[in-house]
Amino acid sequence: MNFRIDGLQYANWGEKIFREMRAGGMDAVHVTIAYHENFRETVANIEAWNLLFEKHSNLIIHGKTAADVDLAKQTNRTTIFFGFQNPSPIEDDIGLVEIVHTLGARFMQLTYNNQSLLATGCYEAEDAGITRMGREVIREMNRVGLVVDMSHSAERSTLEAAEISERPIVVTHANPYSWHPALRNKSDAVLRALAESGGMLGFSMYPHHLAGSTDCSLESFCEMIARTADLMGVDHIGLGSDLCQDQPDSVVEWMRVGRWTKQIDYGEGSASAPGFPDMPEWFGGNADFPNIEAGLRQIGFDETDVNKVMGNNWYRFFEENFKPSK
């Protein structure tokens, strides 16, 4: 059985998006349910998702294991996996790691651009690496089956996380720095460490991460995937679109600013345009995932490898890593 799986989205959730997921044949999507929220605010977000699962039970299901992806495919629905882009939902309490996993979280970033209690973000001038608490939290995440995500983390912190973690780590949404030198994109050293850990890279379609930004061609994107397959091995790559479809520009401000500053943080955008950039013409939303599949075939991927990139690798990763350690 072959799957289509996206490693990260933060769209404006509702029936429109869920129907587009079905139009694109999406079997599973990892969705961000917290950026800067504390534990209680994250629980409120889960409550809101529970209402969506109830209202749109014909389109989506809440996923906790790979078996839920099988169920979704058999019933023509999309599995939704929860993740955090910051460790703020566990506050300063390591006991909340197991609690959030019980509530359905399956991925947690150790940082979101800035220094956190656990690690250093990619926008900091100095990278101090994994903190004392970070080491303990990684151990606990490994124990319960909460995946370590280093998408917004700095170089040293990411390499140390790969070394410290006894289970594979991931970068759910980024691209190689050698292809496009954005702060969030990853060095070859990080990509090799991901693969050596048994982990995954999810390729991002967010324009700030693309060579040529909005004007990036599908051919260029797929050729980048091919070069990364040569570096990491085709078994360690997938998609992580970072799709923020139909979100207002105010959401960008929440992502970047949260509550830590009173100033606008323009991040990877220009000072004159802090909002969402236009997506490339070949990928405007979930219904366009077949374009990437076709692009991979066009540059020479065989059917087995196309299916690995489109979702089979993520499925295998879910199967192996969403459960407690032995």
Q: Is the residue at 153 inside a domain?
A: yes
Q: Output the pLDDT for position 270.
A: 47
Give the model confidence (pLDDT) of 275-326 as tens digits. 788 999 999 999 999 999 999 999 999 999 999 999 999 999 999 999 998 7
Q: What is the pLDDT of residues 187-238, one digit of tens each?
A: 999 999 999 999 999 999 999 999 999 999 999 999 999 999 999 999 999 9
**What's the whole-number mean pLDDT along residues 34-53?**
98
Using left for φ > 0, alpha for ψ between -120 and 50, and beta otherwise, residue 154 falls in: beta
326 within a domain of the structure (yes/no): no
d(CA 172, CA 241): 9
Structural domain harbouring 302: 5-321
β-bridge mates for residue 243, sequence order? 9
Structure tokens at 281: 């013409």
In a domain, 13, yes or no: yes
Region of 129 (left: φ > 0; alpha: ψ -120 to 50; beta: rest) is left
How far, in Å, CA of 290 to CA of 150, rounded? 27
Total domains present in the chain: 1
Q: Residue 266: what pLDDT?
A: 65
Average pLDDT score over residue span 38-44: 98
Report phi then psi at 5, rounded to 5: -135, 135
Domain membership of residue 240 (yes or no) is: yes
92, with CB counted inside 10 A (0-12, 13-18, 19+), is exposed
> 197: domain CATH number?
3.20.20.140
Residue 43 included in any domain:
yes
Instruction: Give domain status of residue 276, yes or no.
Output: yes
Q: Is 29 left (phi over 0), alpha (psi -120 to 50) or beta?
A: beta
Residue 170 lies in a domain: yes
> Is 239 part of a structural domain of the chain?
yes
Total residue length of the chain: 326
